[in-house]
Amino acid sequence: MFGNLLQNTVRYTDGPGRLSVSLSNAMVGGQPRATVVWQDSSPGVDAADLPRLTERLFRVDSSRSRAGGGSGLGLAITRAIVQAHGGELRASASALGGVCWTLVFPALDSGAAHG
């Protein structure tokens, strides 16, 4: 999952490029959640294309789809992995100028980890 996101960032971020990854924990609807925010620098993706980035075989026809780019499967696989772990994956515009991926997972109960 993180390998696919990193490959996507490396492949489609203009050099020298920036990547910011953060992790936070919070209660959401009375349930503990872990949130990973993954932001890369430009170029970005049109707002209309953001919801489609994780569709199987979807590729953006812009500067993020350079010659030699991927097959359009990596982000679909990432979404499937996130969902298999009970999580959600959302794309939005990054404050760094590229794409921001927000991954929200059910957090493990600290007591369950010791059982």
Q: Looking at per-residue confidence, does 18 or 66 come out higher?
A: 18
Answer yes or no: is pLDDT of 69 > 80.
Answer: no
The answer as to CATH 3.40.50.720 being correct for domain 2-107 is no
Q: How far apart are the two ends of the chain, measured CA to CA in Å?
A: 27
Answer yes or no: is pLDDT of 115 > 60.
Answer: no
CB 57 within 8 A of CB 73: yes
pLDDT of the residue at 111: 56
How does pLDDT run across 22-61, given as a tens digit for each residue?
999 998 888 999 999 999 999 988 998 898 888 887 766 5
pLDDT of the residue at 110: 63
How does pLDDT run across 71-100, given as a tens digit for each residue?
678 899 999 999 999 999 999 999 999 999
